[in-house]
Every structure is written in C-alpha cells, then in structure tokens.
Structure 1
Amino acid sequence: MTEIITANVLGAATSRAFPLGLSAPLHGDPATVVNVAVWAPELSELIVYFRPPGSEWRAVKLPEFSDGVHHGVLEGMPIGSHYGFASEDVDPATAQLLLDPYARAIDQEAEHLLGIRMFSGFDWGNETSPHTPWRDSVIYEAHIKGLTQLHPEIPAEIRGSYAGLAHPAMIKHLSELGVTAVELLPIHAHLDEQHLRDSGLPNYWGYNTIGYFAPHAGYASAAALAAGPQAVQDEFKGMVKLLHAAGIEVILDVVYNHTAEGKRYEPALSWRGLAEKRYYRFHDDHYLDTTGCGNTLDFSEPKVIQMALDSLRYWVEEFHVDGFRFDLAVTLGRDAANNFNPQHPFLVAASADRALSGVKLISEPWDVGHDGWQTGRFPVGWVDWNDHFRDSVRDFWLADQASMAAGGSGGGLARLADALSGSSRLFAASGRSQLASVNMITAHDGFALADLVAYNGKHNEANREDNRDGSDNNRSWNHGVEGITEDAGVLAGRAQSSRNLMATLLLSLGVPMITAGDELGKSQGGNNNAYCQDNEISWLDWSSVDETMLGTTRRMIKLRKEYLSAQPSTYPARDESSYLHWFDASGHPLSPEQWQDGSQRVLQMLLGSPGGMMDGLVIFNATGGEVAVTLPALGEPGDEGRRYEYRFGTGADYPQGQGAIFGPGDSARLSPNTITIYKA
C-alpha cells in the first residue's frame, strides 16, 4: 500500500478551506505546491492520492477540517498530476478513488476515473463576446459530434470535434443561415449509464455529468487527445474564440439536476462517497428523484448551490461562454420541502451574480416531480423554453390539419395568435416580457421537423427498449402515409407543412430556437428519443440537403431581422406592447367569437412599431383551399397611402408574383395552407 503522510503546510504557511478543489497556495511555488480543499462533512478524515507525471503514487492526509471542508497544502504535485480521494487506506492502482467535484480535467481513458491538475491560461488575443441582445438572437441547438461528423468540407481528422465546429465550413453555414448563437448539448465530462452499457449503446446526448468543471474529452480531436488535457481545453477555447470572431455566441446545455452516479447503492464515484446525504435529495432513507435519472442534487443545500455557481463562473471566466441552458431547471429551484420557489437562492444568485452579468440564462421549466411544470414562473433575468408555443403551433399546422383531413374540425385562432405574440400574458405574471419566451418547434428531445410531418407515431426500435421510450404525444401528422414514401402529393404536403412551421417560428415575437438539421430536412427515421444513437440516425447528413427548406430558413431569418429593426429592443409588459394587429379574411378586426371559432382558419397579422408605422403584414391561410383575402386598412391618417409589397411565401408557387404591390382593401388570392408575407 502507499505510505500515507500528513500534508506539509510549509512551516508558517496555512491552508485554506476555499476555494474548493485545487488552487494556488498562499506560499510556495505554485508549479509544484497546491492548496487542496474538499467538502466532505460526513468523513472524519480524507486522504489525497496523487501521481505526478512519470512518478509513483503518493498519499497525503489533509490535516485541517473547517466547517465540513478538509484542506491542506501539498508539495510535489505539479501540473499534469492525476489525483483522487479516499477516506481510508486503499491501493490507488486498483481502487476507484473519489473524483474531486471541482476537477478541471478528468482522465476518462484510464481504468478508473481520475482528476488531473491543470494550468489556467490561453491566448485570447482581442477576442470579445458578441453580447447579442435577446431581441436579435436566433439560437441553433446542436450536438458537437452530430453537427460535423459527416460534413464533407471538414477534414476527417477533426470531424465530430470542438475543432470541427470551429472549421470555416461550419462557421460559413451558421453565418449564412443567420443564427446568432449555438446552444451545445452537454459538453461537461459525462458517462454512459449502466443500462446503456449493458445494451451496447452510448449516452450520445451526454445528459449524465461526472464533472461540472471539465470539458468532455471525447469531443476533442485525435491530435488534442494525444497531446493531453491541456490541448483539449485549448481546442474548446479556440472554438469559442473563432465563433466569437464570426459574431456567434456559445451557450452550454448544463445538467446540474442529477449526476452520473445513478441510483443509490451503485458505485461511489465522487459526491456519493464524499457527502451523499448532503449532496442528494432524500426522503426517509431513499433518494427523492425529480429527474427520472436515479438521483437528484439537493438545491436546498448551500454547498450544492455553491458548486453550481462556481461551475457557471468558471465556464464564463475561463472559457468565455455566453450563456447556459439548464436541464430540468425546476429541480434547481426546489426548496427544503421540495417545492418550486421562483425566488430560490440559486435562481436569484445566478441572475444577480456579478461574474454572470449579461450571461444568457435559459430554463427548461419542468421536471418530473410534483408541480413540475413551471413555464412562465421563473424570475426576471431568466428566459424559458416555451412548450406552450411548441404545442400550439404543432396543433395549428399538424394536429388540426390531420383532424380536418379525417373529416373533423380544427382549433381556433386564439392559440396561434398567442404563440405569435410571444405568450405575453404567460410571462407577464413573472414581470417579464415576450423576450422571456424561447420559442421552438423541435428540440434534441423529440421528433426532428422532417419527422413531425412524416410520422404519426414514434419508431424507437433502435433504442432496444421495444419502442417503450419516448413521448407518445407528438402532435405530428404523416400526411396520409407513415414514413418513407414516393407519393409526390404526400411529399409536397409534408414540405409545405415544414415551411409553415419554420416560418411561424421565425415570425413570432420572443427568441426563436432552431434544432440543427431542421433547416436541411434532416430525418431520424421516426426516432423521437435518439439519446443513445451515436450514428447516422443522429448525425446530420450534409450530402442530402433539402435546398428549398434551407433557402426558406435563411430567407425567414433575414425577414425576421428586417421586420424587427423598427421594433423596440425590449417590450414593456402591457398588452399593446407587441404592436400587433389582427384581422380576418375580409380585412376586419376579429370578433371574440371568431377567435374561438374552429372554422376560422385565416388570420392576418399586421406588425406595427412605436411610431405608428406598419412594418409588415403576414397572412396565415390554414384552409385546404385557395382563398381571397382583403388586405386590411386601419383607417388612421395617412393610411390611404399604405402599400403592401409581396415579399415571400411558403407556397411552392412563391416566386410567382414576387414584388407585386397591393393597397389597403385590395384582394389577394392565397394558396392553400400557406403563409404569405408582405412589406408595408
């Protein structure tokens, strides 16, 4: 066994109980001397096992204990040393040491997981964050590997990596598309769950974190991996630097609600061995699980809040990221009684912290616990994924259309208008405006856009769970044929619906989020839970691009920016703040009865601005036939001089008549199931 000694505190030097993890000592050469601090209040002693590069294992007992933190100063632990902890004498060559929750890098290639002491430093040059205002933001949710693995213009040796995302070909696509931020599925170090390993499948999405301060080494290029953990960090930072140079922000999807330690009584890897009953939420002697993942971090514990805040600050200050999307964020706002509190200390601290000032904070506003749905209730400083928007728009263009195709009726116009206006009333209750709404049609979790219009049911057989996993409530419509077809009429209908969904997303107030691949026509073969598919099911196929869909998405983002140019940079919380006006097919304001009438399927939306100018007119024809629509007139002074220029439409016949001029009261004939856009 390794001989255990007591930490050398270098004579007069004293160790500190903060910051947690490894930090520079008060005295001594920081190249080989380090302060170690670990919160483990339930352990009577803690031993640090470390192995300097090219040397043997050493063991040092931390001599100090302050408020639950074991700490000491270690000599002979240079940069690159591997380390871990134990509460008793073990053989570090064969035992799984406890990982430092604050480890800056994790050796995931070793037989056992080990932390690595890292150097902090990178040449950022003149890099600056774009700091894109919320109103001008268009988010692009993507997976590091899936986005670039099959891209033919990216060199094979960096496909699927941080460097691959930073390649000029990828930045060119993002810039030409018009998105302002990439939101990356988890890049924190993560592990595969045991049930997936037993099935021979990986956790492709990465929502199973083992290190909140360490980038996932599996997304580094082969060259960076061979060069070591410092090169992995530098590759990630280089990616951020190049994206920022292109005006694109980097948002990280983070998973602070549970850890990779899984269900209770599975092996202790870190938190469970250090302070299980303080890190995790318990009921009696069992885990209280609001995540569905086997364990739940207890955010009524101050040290858990501290760990999450320290992690956020680290990624902002050290890696220059621009924001975070919080997985199952309701769990992060649950108090000691397990109730959600919008003024929870973590939620307030994250939005008020000086280091996080100006950083984008995005909640996934639900979990699987009681009262787990909290969309619209997060505090000022946060924005929410808006499932109201997702469901309303899917219903209007898909579920309602399926019902009408089968001889039934559709829903009214009220829910669509609410979505188009950014669900203003939903967010006003928490003192926020439409800019607190992150609008989406799809996300990583669920059907791809192309599958929403091609499948009535999920097809998750490849996940090896007998198609039991994934949602059955998709609000999708296969247009008459399930899955792959060569029927030209069905394919045309699917393409039309896809364009309508994308256009609705990009014409709505709030912050749009596009799922990577939807602009290309990407399909997952009907798999709506591809979390374990690290293969062509999930990867973007750049050799098969729907050019019409790509062109529509690019054009709609440009029109969005043009129409918003005269709008206020934020919206005051009052009903008229959206400057939207609504009319029926005859050009008259809709009556209360019309809003709720399921037979009403034509809606005209006139976009205004603070100065009273009318900037654009959008007409939604969700009927199955061609309709004649009378363009509206408001009857205000100067209104008689207004003209409408036909700029874009989602119909296949869009180019015909482009540039045509209409006046108020003129009649325009609109194709079935289309969106038509005019510039005022």
Structure 2
Amino acid sequence: MKETKEIRMEKGKPYPLGWTENADGSVNLAAVLERNKECGVLLYPRRGGAPRRLAFREEDRIGKICCMKLIGLDAQEYEYNFYCGEEVITDPKARRICGNEKWGKKISPSLRSDSTEDAFDWKNDRRPQIPYENSIFYQLHVRGFTKHTSSGVTAKGTFAGLAEKIPYLKSLQVTAVELMPVYEFTELEAVKPLRQNAYPAKDQEGNPVEETLPRINYWGFKKGYYFAPKASYSVKDPVLEFKEMVRAFHAEGMEVILQFYFPKEINREMILEVIRYWVCEYHIDGVHLMGEQIPVGILAADPMLTDTKLIYYGFPYEEIYPVGQVPDVRNLAECRDEFQYDMRRFLKGDEDTLHQALRRMRCNPVQNGVINYITSYEGFSLADLVSYDRKHNEANGEDNQDGNPYNASWNCGVEGPTRKRTILQLRKRQMKNALALLLFSQGTPMLTAGDEFGQSREGNNNPYCQDNEISWLNWKLTEKNKDFLDYTKELIALRKAHPVFHQSRELTLMDYAACGYPDLSYHGKDAWRLMADRLNREAGLMYCGRYAPKDRAQEDDFFYIAMNMHWEPQRLALPDLPAGMRWEKVLDTQGDVVETQADPLIKSITVPGRCIQVLESTGNPVRKGKKRKEK
C-alpha cells in the first residue's frame, strides 16, 4: 500500500486569497470562511481516492480569513476545495475549475479547484491598442459561433474554433471581437416548469410536488468563477487554448474584449483584481462591464488599466478627469441602448425621429468613446428586426412572457417568413439601411455575429436558454446571402478608407478651419436648410474631407449621405462643391454599390422611399493660380 506523504502545516498569510505557490515550494491557502464552524481544505488526489482533510486551526484565523501554509505538498498531485461545516466550497479565486468540462452535463459531486500553473510562451505578442474611432467591434458567443455543423472548423464551439475563423473576420475587416462571458460558470440550472394543465404533480402520499427541469443558461450572465476560462469552451486545456487564441488574434492586428457580469454581492476589490488578472495573465485588450455597483471610477483611475478599453453604461467623468482635461488615451467608452432604439424608430419611419437620429450619428465625446449598435445578443437579430412585429419566445418555455415586449421593429407587412418577393426586397433594403446608419455614424460600430449574412433567431428576442440552431450561426447563409455579406464588407471598407466617418472627437457643424465648409452640415429640399417638421423623415448629411485627421498625407473627400426613411420618394438638394469637383454616387441601398457619375450642374437628387444613397466628391478643386486637374 502506497504511503501517504507527510504534509506539515504552519501559520499562513491572509493575502492573497486562494492557492499561492511560494518560491520555497510551500503552498499558502487562504479563504473567507465562517468563524462558528469547522473549516479547512480538501485535497483531492489526481489519481483518485478519498480526499485529504486538513482543518484550519484557531491560530490560522485572522478576522474572517482562514489561512495556512503547507510544507511538503506536491502541488501537481492535487486538486482542492475548501469546506465549512458540511458545505464544500470551490475556491472563487481558482485559476482553473475541474468538473464542468462537458457542456450541459450535471456536475458530480462538485466542482474542484485546480492549482496547476503552466508557463506559456507569448512570443512577441503585443496588444494592437486600436483607438475607438478606428475600431469596429464584432460581438459573439464562443460556443454558438462555430458549433453548427456548417462552421467548417475542427474544434467546434471552442476558443480554438474561434481562432480558426480569424481569416473570415479579417475579410470582414472587424478590428475586435467582443466575447460573451468566457469565465467558468455552471450553465445547467434547475428551474420550475410552467404548468401546462391544472393537474400538478404529487408524491405517493398525494401532496403537491414542485417540479424542476434542467435548463441551459446559454449566455452565462451570472455569478461565476471569474479567474478561470470556461473549460467546456476548450478541447482539452482552457488556459492554454484561450491564450493561444488571444495570441492568434493579436498576430492579425485584432483585439479581444471580454464581457463580465458582476452581481451586487461581488465586492469592489474582487472586481478590480479580476480585471487586472485577465489583462496581465491573458493579454486581453478590454472589458465590457455589466451589472450594478461596479467601481468604474476606481477601475478608470487604476494606473495599470489606463490603456485597456473599459466599457460600461456610463462613467463619473467629473471625478476621473479634472475640468477640461482630455485623457492621453481615450480608453473609456459608454455602451447603452439609446442609439439602438432611436435608430430603429427612424429606420421604420416613425414621426419626430429625424433630429434624434442625427444627434446619435454625431455623438462622439472627446473624453470617451461611444459604442453604437442596432442589434445585440439580446433582442431581435437584424433579419428578425425587419421580419417580426412581435417577439416569439415560446421555445423558451415561459409562455412567451419573457423578453422585452418593445423592439421598435417592423415586419415590412408580413409576420415572419414569407415568399412574397416585394416583402423580401423591402426587408433586405431595410437591413442595408440599418447597417448604413450604423457604419456612417461617428463612434464605434458594433456588429452582432450573423447579422452580416442574415441570421434569424426565428423571432426569439431572448434566446438566453437556446443552445441550438436558434443561437448557433448557420454558415451556409454566407453563400445563400452572399450579396448581403458582400454589401456589409463594402460598407465597412468604405468607412475604414475615409476618416471623415470615424473621427476622434465630435463634429461641431462649424467652419472652424476657415475653408468655406463646416465639418458636417445638414441639408433638406434646399441646400444648407434642414426641415424642422416632425413629419420630416429625410435629410442630407455632408462631411467635409478637409477636416480629416491631420496625420493623413492628404485631405479626404467630401461625402453626401442622402437618407430617406419615408415610404415615398423625396427630393434633397445637393450643396455646391469647390470648383473643379462634382458628385459621384458610390452606394445605393436600393441596389448594389455603384459608380455612377452625376452631372455637376444637377443641384438635387431624388431618393427613393426607404433608401440611403451616398455620393462622393470626385475631381480636384481649382486652386487660385493653378490649372484644373481631373482625377
């Protein structure tokens, strides 16, 4: 019989909490545990067998923290948990979690903390640090992104599978992926089923029994083990595979941003430690913080995080920056629903929405970034936004009572799937309009995975429990809807090629460069005059290329965005360009991207109903004392 190696206990240190391997080979263990119960450590041999139980002594307690130092322990031979009375406690500071490697399977008997720490060669990894104004975010769920049989990757539903899709993301020209929760959480939950009849279940004695059913928490917005990558999102080793994925994205000049949800019970110190850990250990580029009572002021002031993207609903800027101060690196950004709903209402032609839409398109504070989106993981997908007036969440098992009842959507005349050609054409045009409104707005656009090729969620606006084809991306649509995917790519390319569409500060509507044109101007049926009527649903926006960033070798072009969300054609005036230049149409959401020269003598254009057209200046301005040159 194999002898049990002797482990000697000595007084430990209360911080850091969790498992810490010391330079002398000893291990320090510390946890916040109750004082009125026996507490200790359970050591689980990796080769199997009963756990070793080591109790904390009274002298090992400092306040509510129990701590011990173990000498003679071979850290590689054990997994561990804490215990307090009869309760087994998985270490919230564990860097790895064992027992939840199989997605959607029952945990038995409990999760265990893993102390293993492996060296990783980051090679020459560097964070791209792309400014918000030059960024295009792409929000996705790691499992759902490649789980479908059509994904074509080897490691479906994993970090490695996501890395396999980097060439696709490069072709789309997004600059950052924003990942829904990838920290460890227990996705299998017990919930009470809805009563489908009037006969509740009873036990053998005839007493009513509360039924529970297992349900998948697909999204993961719950309290989790924040220091450990999710094991079921890996093939074998979540720590190694997540780091390899980040390194692969960085090698292609793309960033990795993580969503973290912190409920109220998570203390501020823990939140700060979590974010610091992922930035240091996993080289992530930013975090999208969710939840209440997040210490955003402390995070924003942390010297270590000043070049890490921090995204939240809002920040106390007056506490973070002295009056008038502009940060060296604009790393804070707001992400709220206002843009989404204002643009959706304008898109479907609601009254009195034009001015609000124009304000959202211009919003771009100098102190912080703004993340704009038309759709997100919650709510309708882009295809469903133009196909459903009402949510259809019956598959969630909650009698369609869950999810937001208000979506500011329009089904274009028919609820759900249809074969009517005119309806399908209108829906596609509205989808094109939505992306144009998003990508021609200042701020940082965020796409939701699958919207670029028309992914539908079958009208479900709250698929939080749908681990199936409702939430998995169907990659066959990249071929079926190739024309729309190509349009999305063209739109992104147009935005990225012209800095007038993505500047570092808000446009002023003034001619502060004294060049004869303001940086941005609005036009209606008459040039330089926007109709103020609440029934007005059309406007022309002219961006002056002379206000492009000064680090460019030359000025940008003039652009005129003609927007008409009315159902009937509308005429919009074209402002005069400098002598020697003329307007050329480069985009029309009623058809494909075109290159049609316009007569320089024409002073207006007629925009079809529910359509956006983009005109670009061509030719060179005639300078005084110089001959006129054409492009």
Q: TM-score range by the shorter chain?
A: 0.7 to 0.9
Q: Give, in angstroms, the shift of residue 190 of structure 1.
A: 0.9
Contact 1:47 1:62 in 2 (8 A): yes
Identity of aligned residues (%): 31
The match for 2:541 is: 605
8 Å CA contact 1:399–1:476 kept in 2: the answer is: no
1:306 aligned counterpart, secondary structure:
helix
Deviation for aligned residue 1:44: 6.2
Partners of 1:315 and 1:486 lie apart in 2 by 48
Amino acid at match of 1:241: R
Give the Cα separation in 2 of the matches to 1:233 and 1:615: 48
Residues 146 and 649 of structure 1: CA distance in aligned 2, closer, same or farther (over 3 Å): same
- Residue 123 of structure 2 corresponds to residue 121 of structure 1: no
State the 1:610 CA deviation.
Answer: 6.0
Secondary structure in 2 matching 1:512: strand
- 1:35 matched residue in structure 2: 28
C-alpha spacing 1:572/1:396, structure 2 compared with 1 (3 Å)? closer
State TM-score, norm by structure 1. Answer: 0.77
**Counterpart AA for 2:66:** H
Q: 1:96-120 CA distances to partner (integer Å, 9 max, x unpaired)? A: 5111110111123442111111214
Residue 582 of structure 2 corresponds to residue 643 of structure 1: yes
- 1:579 Cα offset (Å): 2.9
| Higher helix proportion | 1
Structure 1 unmatched runs, 5+: 91-95, 225-230, 258-295, 299-303, 334-345, 366-373, 401-409
Q: 1:214 aligns with which of 223, 228, 232?
A: 228
| Counterpart selection for 2:356 from 402, 415, 425 | 415
Which of the pair has more CA radius of gyration?
A: 2
Is 2:373 the counterpart of 1:440?
A: yes
Letter in 1 for 2:535: S
Q: Go from structure 1 to structure 2 and tell me whether the alpha carbon gap of 1:145 and 1:416 turns closer, same or farther (over 3 Å shift).
A: same
User: Of the candidates 281, 289, 300, which is equivalent to residue 351 of structure 1?
Assistant: 300
Within the candidate set 9, 16, 19, 2:16 is matched to 19
Partner of 1:237: 243
Which amino acid letter does the alignment assign opposite residue 301 of structure 2?
A
Are 2:249 and 1:253 aligned?
Answer: no
The alpha-carbon distance between structure 1 residues 574 and 670, as it changes in their structure 2 partners (threshold 3 A), is closer
User: Structure 2: how far apart are the matches of 1:674 and 1:376?
Assistant: 38
Q: Does 1:515 align with 2:462?
A: no
Equivalent-residue separation in structure 2 for 1:491 and 1:80 (angstroms):
61
* RMSD of equivalent CA atoms: 2.8
Q: Which residue of 1 is the match for residue 412 of structure 2? A: 479
- Determine the structure 1 residue equivalent to 2:215: 201
Per-residue deviation, 1:621: 1.5
Q: 1:42/1:652 Cα in 2 relative to 1: closer, same or farther (>3 Å)?
A: farther
For each residue in 1:634-655, what CA deviation from the matched residue of structure 2 results, as whole angstroms up to 9, or x when unmatched?
Answer: 7xxxx33332222112112653
Q: Is the 8 A contact 1:7 1:73 kept in 2?
A: no
Shift of 1:34: 1.0
SS in 2 for 1:111: coil
After superposition, the Cα gap between the structure-2 partners of 1:628 and 1:118, relative to the gap in structure 1 and judged at 3 Å, is: same
Measure how far apart 1:310 and its partner are. Answer: 1.0
Paired residues of 2:508 and 2:519 also in contact (CA < 8 A): no
Q: Is the 8 A contact 1:201 1:533 kept in 2?
A: no
Change (3 A) 1:543 1:622: same
Pairs within 5 Å for 1:188-587 = 188-191=183-186, 192-195=188-191, 198-221=212-235, 224=236, 231-257=237-263, 296-297=264-265, 304-328=267-291, 331-333=292-294, 346-364=295-313, 381-398=331-348, 400=350, 410-422=351-363, 424=364, 433=367, 435-545=368-478, 546-564=481-499, 568=503, 570-571=504-505, 579-587=519-527
> What SS does the corresponding residue of 2:247 show, helix, strand or coil?
helix
Which amino acid letter does the alignment assign opposite residue 161 of structure 1?
A: T
The residue type paired with residue 558 of structure 1 is A
CA distance in 2, matches of 1:327, 1:664: 53
Q: 1:467 offset after TM fit, Å?
A: 0.4
1:631, 1:663 within 8 Å by CA — same for their partners in 2? no
User: 1:299-354: CA deviations, max 9, x gaps?
Assistant: xxxxx1111111111111111111111123xx124xxxxxxxxxxxx212211223
Question: Matched residue of 1:82: which SS?
Answer: strand
**1:352/1:377 Cα in 2 relative to 1: closer, same or farther (>3 Å)?**
closer
TM-superposed deviation, 1:572: 6.3
2:56 pairs with 1:62: yes
Q: Which residue of 2 aligns with 1:166?
A: 163
Q: How many residues align?
A: 560
Q: 1:506 to 1:356 in 2, by over 3 A?
A: same
**Within the alignment, does 1:105 sit opposite 2:96 as a pair?**
yes
Which stretch has the larger CA shift, 98-107 or 581-590?
Answer: 581-590
**In structure 1, what is the equivalent of residue 603 of structure 2?**
666
Structure 2 CA distance for aligned equivalents of residues 234 and 453 of structure 1: 41
CA distance in 1, matches of 2:423, 2:509: 40
Letter in 2 for 1:586: D
User: Which residue is 1:71 aligned to?
Assistant: 67
1:7 to partner: Cα distance: 8.0
Equivalent residue of 1:97, what SS? Answer: strand
Structure 2 residues not aligned, in runs of 5+: 101-107, 194-211, 322-330, 513-517, 549-554, 618-631
The whole-number CA distance in structure 2 between the counterparts of 1:57 and 1:468 is 46
- The alignment's TM-score, normalised by the length of structure 2, stands at 0.83
Shift of 1:72: 1.4
In 1, distance between residues paired with 2:35 and 2:483?
Answer: 61
Write the letter of the residue equivalent to 1:651.
Q
